[in-house]
Amino acid sequence: MAYAEVQKHIEALKSPELNVRREAARALGEIGPEAVDAVPELIEALNDEDMDLIALSALKQIGPAAIAAVPAIIQWRKKVDSWSGCRCRRNASGQLPYLPEEDRRRFKMEMPYNESQVQASRHG
């Protein structure tokens, strides 16, 4: 059952409707590790300002199976950091707590930011 559900939500991530894409990402996160097949699409969602934080959350919920997302999360963090000099590393570091200590150092947290602060920094 989980496979069919995951595939349905992967297809929904391609929808032109933002609410459909967001709900799909949330649902994939709720499925957890069994949604590993969705990792590539969730990585792609990191490039969408309206989806990135939801995609990060889903990747966290998928857990260690989402380790392939680490390079994309590092790139996402650099992009977010460039918006108004915002340091939104808390979001990235908190999404993959299962990383080994040496990898977690890459996500050194300077200041906590929440989603509304990230949105404000984007639209300055």
CA distances from 21 to 10, 25, 74, 77 (A): 9, 6, 22, 21
pTM of the full predicted structure?
Answer: 0.69
Give the pLDDT of residue 78: 81
> In this predicted model, what pLDDT tens digit does every residue of 41-88 receive, in sequence order?
999 999 998 999 999 999 989 988 888 898 898 888 888 776 644 444
Determine the Cα–Cα distance for residues 2 and 86; give it in Å rounded to an integer: 38
DSSP of 75-114 = HHHHHHHHSTT---HHHHHHH-TTS-HHHHGGG--SS---
- Reported confidence tier of residue 8, pLDDT bands at 50, 70, 90: very high
Query: Are 38 and 10 a contacting pair, CB within 8 Å?
Result: yes
Domains detected in the chain? 2-122 (1.25.10.10)
CB count within 10 Å of CB 73 equals: 24
Arithmetic mean of pLDDT over the chain: 77
